[in-house]
Amino acid sequence: MATDKPLKIAIVAGEESGDLLGADIVAALKRTTGREVRLVGIGGRHLQALGLTPLFDGGEIALMGLSAILRDLPRLMRRISQTANAVAGEKPDCLITIDSPDFSLRVAKKVRAADPAIPIVHYVCPSVWAWRPGRAVAMKPYVDHILCILPFEVKELARLGGPPGTYVGHRLTHDPGVLGAAKAQSLPRDLSEDRVKTLLVLPGSRRGEVRRLVGPFGKTISILRARGHRLRVLLPTVPHVADLVRASVASWDEKPEIILDPERKWQAFGKADAALSASGTVSLELALSGVPMISCYRLDPVMRMAQRLITVWSAALPNLIADRPIVPESYNEYVRPHYLARQLEALLSDTPYRAWQKDGFAEVARRMAVDRPSSDIAAGIVMRYIKRVSSE
pLDDT tens digit sequence for 350-366 = 999 999 999 999 999 99
Q: Inform me whether the pLDDT recorded for 162 exceeds 90.
A: yes
pLDDT (tens digit per residue) in 4-28? 789 999 999 988 888 999 999 999 9
Helix axes 101-114, 73-90, angle to 10 degrees: 40
Lowest mean pLDDT, pick from 69-78, 198-207, 278-287, 320-329:
69-78
Taking residues 36-58, report their average pLDDT. Answer: 94
| Predicted pLDDT of residue 261 | 95
Percent of the chain topping pLDDT 90: 78
Instruction: Select from 286, 298, 381 the least CA-distant residue to 326.
Output: 286
pLDDT (tens digit per residue) in 63-96? 545 555 566 777 788 999 999 999 999 999 999 9
Mean pLDDT, the chain, whole residue set: 92
> With 0-12 CB in 10 A as exposed, 13-18 as middle and 19+ as buried, what is 188?
exposed
- Strands of 165-167's sheet in order across: 37-42, 7-13, 94-98, 120-123, 145-148, 165-167
| Predicted pLDDT of residue 68 | 57
User: Taking the alpha carbons of 77, 80, 86, 89 in that order, is the dihedral positive or negative?
Assistant: negative
List of residues 6+ apart from 3 with CB closer than 8 A: 35
3-class SS of residue 148: strand
Lowest mean pLDDT, pick from 21-35, 48-62, 77-91, 154-168:
48-62
pLDDT (tens digit per residue) in 87-137? 999 999 999 999 989 899 999 999 999 999 999 999 999 999 888 899 999
| Predicted pLDDT of residue 330 | 94
| Predicted pLDDT of residue 368 | 97
Q: What is the rounded CA–CA span in Å between residue 193 and residue 183?
A: 24
More confident residue, 373 or 345: 345
Taking residues 338-344, report their average pLDDT. Answer: 98
Whole-prediction pTM value?
Answer: 0.85
Q: Inform me whether the pLDDT recorded for 311 exceeds 80.
A: no
